[in-house]
A and B are shown apart, each in its own frame.
Chain A
Amino acid sequence: MYRSLLKRIFYFYYDGFTSMTIGKKLWIIILIKLFILFAILKVFFFPDFLKTRFNNDRDRSNYVIEQLSKTR
């Protein structure tokens, strides 16, 4: 029963994807876009500033306090 339901869900998506017309072009655009976003931009251009520079929250908060409290 459970296997049959999973099979039906699988074929629902499988048939849906294979019978797409305009959707195929859209999926290619989506996949290229997601690749650019997550495999290029996120990895090489958008590291998390605080996470990559500090190992723990205490150091991160110390840094931000320093930034916010610097006065003349």
Chain B
Amino acid sequence: MLENIDLSLVNWSRAQFALTAIYHWIFVPLTLGLSFIIAMMETLYVRTGKEEWKKITQFWMTLFGVNFAIGVATGIILEFEFGTNWSNYSWFVGDIFGAPLAIEGIMAFFLESTFVAVMFFGWNRVSKRFHLTSTWLVAFGANLSALWILVANAWMQNPVGMHFNPEAARNEMLNFWDVFLSPVAIHKFIHTITSGYVLASVFVIGISAWFILKKRELFLAKRSILIASVFGLISSLMLIYSGDGSTRQLVHVQPMKFAAIEGLYNGQTGAGLVAIGIMATAPGDTNSRNVKDFSYQIEIPNFLSYMAYGKFDAFVPGVNDLVDGNFERNIMPVSDKMDRGRVARETLADLKTARDKGDTAQYALIKAKFNDEDFKNNYFRYFGYGFLNNPDDVIPNVPLSFYSFHIMVILGFYFLFLMILFIYFVFRDNLEKRKFYLRIAVLSVPLAYLASQAGWIVAEMGRQPWVIQDLLPTVAAVSHISTTSVQVTFWMFAVLFTALLIAELSIIFRQIKIGSK
């Protein structure tokens, strides 16, 4: 690792980023999904002209407004942190991260901010159709904002379409479309926004179920459940489909994350999928790898191989294969990658020395290396490994990755089942009699948030130690600042965000109690 970097600084910087991202993600998914649900409700109002639909739309729009107002600008703190705590990273990624974030800023400002005002102030002041158009534009604007952030995040998981400029120590975008349309980015975008749609659907169903249990707002509740459960069902199917696609991508671009989320230490031919499992220290494990085994598991034989490669007898590499290498399977050991990474780092150091000495001939020679395909594919590709001390450093927290992934997947299927169930109840017109299921729906709202957060834990913890896959480890991305200042701002954020969350919950609960006007 970087010799003089204090690990507590890295850990506090990570904790602060995680805290900010987790709180930010409490507000975002509801905005993404509820905006479309409201747009659909308002469309029904405009098409039918029935005032009841207007009342329904306005009720959910109020909750949307509270969430939007409290959540707005919470993401900007992540950008502050990039500049202060993660300056090496911010510089290294260059325009690749900057361009999507700039587009996101412009889109968020013009589309959301402008049309949100029409949405809230425009009732009876602009035409019904213009108001409806504004509502749809807010929904599309919010989702397009998410697109750019997720493209940037996907690039960190799978850096493509760029070239490293050694003179500036920055990556430069070679092909926008390679970055924008990378399969990782597409799956990530669809998976993330549909997770927001499912969360919003569960939110609407849960609150509507509470109204039915309280024998209030029955028309609003039943109509809302109908819209949300149909939207939630379609979104759940897309969520599962894109989740499967994302996981298949992992096998190729982040095989260690794949092995971690599946709890697979030793590679297997015809590997089984552990659907449910409890991890425990492996018997006889004495090495630093801290191998976990399953003390209890329900396994679907051969299914992991099929999920990963489309073949029931395919070999799936485990954590040990990926660290120690497996020559039979053409997997390079991490120790070799570390050697190659060190060569790449030393070459960068030599370039700087030549520049400092004014040795133009040597400088040109070394600079040319960074354009050489052999150097790029066999050395610079492993640049980040040059920072590692020990091959085991490439292993993420396996139990955390495994449990987060399985909680997310199990809840994802549970929500699909919940949507089907509520569509059935709506069509049987017996929602009021289903008290048990109505209570379950109310309790499902926090579960939707849990699943959503678990998804990000899989994405971000599962890719450790990398901030940019294979190129830059987290430990090399931090700025040399005082740990105390990061600790102070961590607690400031914790207080600020908790206050915002309490404000959001108290205002939302009060609005729900008031009901539609």
Decide whether A and B assemble into one complex: yes
Binding site for B on A (CB under 8 A): 12-13, 15-17, 22-23, 25-27, 29-30, 33-34, 36-37, 41-42, 45-51, 57, 60-62, 64-72
Considering only residues 74-90 of chain B, those with a C-beta below 8 Å from chain A are: 76-77, 80-81, 83-85, 87-88, 90
Q: Do A33 and B500 have beta carbons less than 8 Å apart? A: yes
A and B contact pairs by CB, cutoff 8 A, 9 listed: A13-B117, A13-B121, A30-B73, A33-B496, A61-B91, A67-B2, A68-B92, A68-B348, A70-B3
B507 touches A42 (CB 8 A): no
A68–chain B nearest beta-carbon distance, Å: 6
B368 within 8 A of A: no
Cross-chain contact B81 with A34 (CB below 8 angstroms): no
The answer on a CB contact under 8 Å between A49 and B87 is yes
Residues of A within 8 A of B476 (CB): 67-68
Give the distance to chain A from B515, nearest Cβ to Cβ, in Å. 13
Contact of B91 among A41, A50, A72 (CB under 8 A): A50
Instruction: Choose among A26, A61, A68 the residue with the greatest number of B CB atoms under 10 Å from its CB.
Output: A68
Q: How far is the CB of B400 from chain A (nearest CB, A)?
A: 28
In the assembled complex, the Cα of A27 lies from the Cα of B345 at a distance in Å of: 50
- A45 x B492 contact (CB < 8 A): yes
Q: CB within 8 Å of A: which of B1-43?
A: 2-3
**Complex Cα spacing A61 to B351, Å:** 12
A50 to B65, CA, bound (A): 37
From residue B384, how far is it (CB to closest CB) to chain A in Å? 10
Contact A47 B84 (CB under 8 A): yes
Separation in Å of the B347 CB from the closest CB of chain A?
Answer: 8
Top 5 nearest A-B pairs (CB, nearest first) are A16-B121, A69-B349, A49-B87, A46-B80, A26-B69
Contact check, B120 vs A23: say whether CB atoms are below 8 A apart. Answer: yes
Nearest-neighbour CB distance to chain B for A39, whole angstroms, equals 13
Does B362 count as interface, using CB distance less than 8 angstroms?
no
Tell me which of A23, A45, A50, A72 contacts B3 (CB under 8 A): A72
State whether B91 touches A29 (Cβ < 8 A).
no
Task: Tell me whether B346 and A41 are in contact (CB under 8 A).
Answer: no
Which residue of B3, B66, B166, B481 is within 8 Å of A49 (Cβ)? B481
Q: How far is the CA of A41 from the CA of B476 in the complex (A)?
A: 25
Task: Please give the distance in Å from A24's CB to the nearest CB on chain B.
Answer: 11
Cβ-defined contact, A71 with B349, below 8 A: yes
| Cβ of B511 under 8 Å from chain A | yes
Instruction: Specify which chain B residues have a CB less than 8 angstroms from the CB of A72 in the assembled complex.
Output: 3
Q: Which residue of chain A has the shortest Cβ distance to B476 in the bound complex? A: A68
Query: Could you say which residues of chain B place their CB within 8 Å of the CB of A34?
Result: 73
Among A26, A34, A50, which residue has the most Cβ atoms of chain B within 10 A? A26
Interface segment, one of B167-175, B182-190, B200-208: B167-175
Residue of B nearest to A45 (CB): B489
Tell me if A41 and B500 are in contact (CB < 8 A): no
What is the CA–CA distance of A12 and B125 in the complex, to the nearest angstrom?
Answer: 8
**Docked CA distance A62–B507 (Å):** 50
Cα–Cα, bound, A59→B395 (Å): 35
CB-based contact A26/B70 at 8 Å: yes
Confirm or deny: B410 has a beta carbon within 8 angstroms of a beta carbon on chain A.
no
Distance in angstroms from B353 CB to nearest chain A CB is: 9
Report Cα–Cα, A29/B507, bound state, in Å.
Answer: 11
Other contacts beyond A37-B80, A70-B349: 14, CB < 8 A:
A15-B125, A16-B117, A22-B66, A29-B69, A29-B500, A29-B503, A30-B72, A34-B73, A42-B80, A49-B85, A49-B87, A60-B91, A69-B346, A71-B349
In-complex Cβ contact of A36 among B87, B169, B496 (8 A): B496
> Is A33 a contact partner of B73 (Cβ separation < 8 A)?
yes
Q: Which residues of chain B come closer than 8 Å to A67, judged between CB atoms?
A: 2, 88, 476, 480
Cα A57 to Cα B500 in complex, Å, equals 38
Determine the residue in chain B with the shortest Cβ distance to A49: B87
